[in-house]
């Protein structure tokens, strides 16, 4: 059984990852930590609360950091909608957030139950960096740490072309996190943007999900329509990219991974063109301790089935 703490900036693909986790028979969601990212925290927090209502589970939701540690560069409202869930008026009916800050909640939970929780970070790493500042021993107290972020051969998805969104949104936070895992000798399980592209979701799979016609599949269809249109305009066909569900699939079923490489990854902070790039020591030259298990391939059919299960 995986006990998950999900740090997230919902976000259409975050939402799908949460639906997937909530439906999985061998997982429980112990907490959702909201962070600013795709859109502002007021939206991501509200969306997290909407999602716990949709999955009809008693999951505590904590508000975290509203801004990157140092400087705001860009959000992803053009992909996810101004409200983060496709601008179709989704809102929670009754749920409210806990009063504790997300970073404090993470430190508290990890210390109450060392080695029990798998932390899945599918947004910028701001909350995690703050938690690490409060408790540098955090890496020792987690069972696993799965991150969606980065572009390990610099094929990014932001205006700073070699950087991926979650890392580029808050490079300083990502730097703190990758260095902390290196210092601890632990491995971040990293699902990057390039793996996301390699595991794109074809139009016929999406149509199959729509045809389920359940409350969750109707919710999915509604919130993702704008993103589908955004991607169709770029790719010239109907398809989706499931960055956060891909990371969640790895968290839920680690044996879904068919190819991975352990390497040292650092985060570029100062490059004129490369700020936010995840610099990967592919040839093992820098002599530093590997801090990342880079997920390269996983079983695509199993991945699609896990997502479908979340919509039933
Ligand atoms: C990541 O950025 C966000 O827009 C998505 O939710 C995902 O976490 C992909 O680069
Ligand atoms: Ca996200």
**For the CA of 148, the nearest atom of ligand 1:** 8
pLDDT for res 74: 95
Write phi, then psi, for 74 (nearest 5 degrees).
-160, 155
Q: Is the minimum distance from the CB of 157 to ligand 1 under 6 angstroms?
A: yes
Q: What is the mean pLDDT of the chain?
A: 97
pLDDT for res 17: 98
pLDDT tens track for 65-101: 999 999 999 999 999 999 999 999 999 999 999 999 9
Task: Calculate how far, in angstroms, residue 165's C-alpha sits from the geometric centre of ligand 1.
Answer: 6
Nearest to 47 by CA among 99, 90, 100: 90
The CATH H-level (homologous superfamily) assignment of domain 2-309 is Ribonucleoside hydrolase-like (3.90.245.10)
Domain boundaries, the chain: 2-309
Angle (CA) 228-232-237 rounded to 5° is 120
pLDDT tens track for 238-276: 999 999 999 999 999 999 999 999 999 999 999 999 999
Are the beta carbons of 39 and 77 closer than 8 angstroms?
yes
Task: Calculate how far, in angstroms, residue 167's C-alpha sits from the geometric centre of ligand 2.
Answer: 11
pLDDT for res 70: 98
Q: Is the minimum distance from the CB of 38 to ligand 1 under 6 angstroms?
A: yes
- Residues noted as catalytic: 9
The CA distance from 31 to 3, in Å, is 9
**For the CA of 193, the nearest atom of ligand 1:** 10
Neighbours of ion ligand 2 (CB under 5 A): 9, 11, 14, 122-123, 244
Q: Mapping DSSP to helix (H, G, I), strand (E, B) and coil, where does residue 197 land?
A: helix
């Amino acid at each position: 059984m995986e006990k998950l703490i999900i740090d997230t900036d919902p976000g259409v693909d975050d939402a799908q990852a949460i639906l997937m986790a909530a439906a999985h028979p061998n997982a429980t969601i112990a907490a959702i930590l909201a962070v600013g990212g795709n859109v502002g925290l007021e939206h991501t927090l509200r969306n997290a609360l909407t999602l716990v209502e949709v999955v009809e589970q008693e999951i505590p939701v904590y508000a975290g950091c509203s801004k990157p540690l140092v400087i705001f560069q860009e959000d992803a409202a053009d992909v996810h909608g101004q409200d983060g869930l496709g601008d179709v008026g989704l809102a929670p009916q009754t749920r409210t957030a806990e009063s504790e800050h997300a970073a404090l909640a993470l430190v508290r939970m990890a210390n109450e139950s060392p080695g029990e929780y798998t932390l899945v970070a599918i947004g910028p790493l701001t909350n995690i960096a703050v938690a690490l500042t409060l408790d540098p021993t955090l890496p020792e107290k987690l069972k696993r740490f799965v991150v969606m972020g980065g572009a390990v051969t610099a094929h990014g998805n932001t205006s700073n072309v070699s950087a991926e969104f979650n890392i580029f949104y808050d490079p300083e936070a990502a730097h703190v996190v990758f260095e902390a895992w290196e210092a601890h000798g632990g491995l971040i399980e990293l699902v990057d943007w390039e793996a996301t592209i390699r595991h794109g979701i074809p139009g016929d799979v999406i149509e199959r999900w729509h045809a389920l016609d359940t409350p969750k599949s109707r919710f999915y269809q509604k919130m993702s329509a704008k993103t589908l249109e955004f991607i169709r305009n770029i790719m010239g066909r109907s398809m989706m990219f499931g960055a956060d569900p891909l990371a969640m699939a790895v968290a839920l079923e680690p044996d879904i991974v068919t190819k991975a490489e352990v390497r040292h990854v650092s985060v570029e902070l100062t490059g004129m063109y490369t700020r936010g790039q995840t610099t990967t020591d592919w040839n093992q030259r820098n002599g530093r301790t590997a801090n990342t298990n880079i997920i390269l391939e996983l079983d695509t059919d199993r991945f699609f089935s896990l997502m479908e299960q979340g919509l039933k």
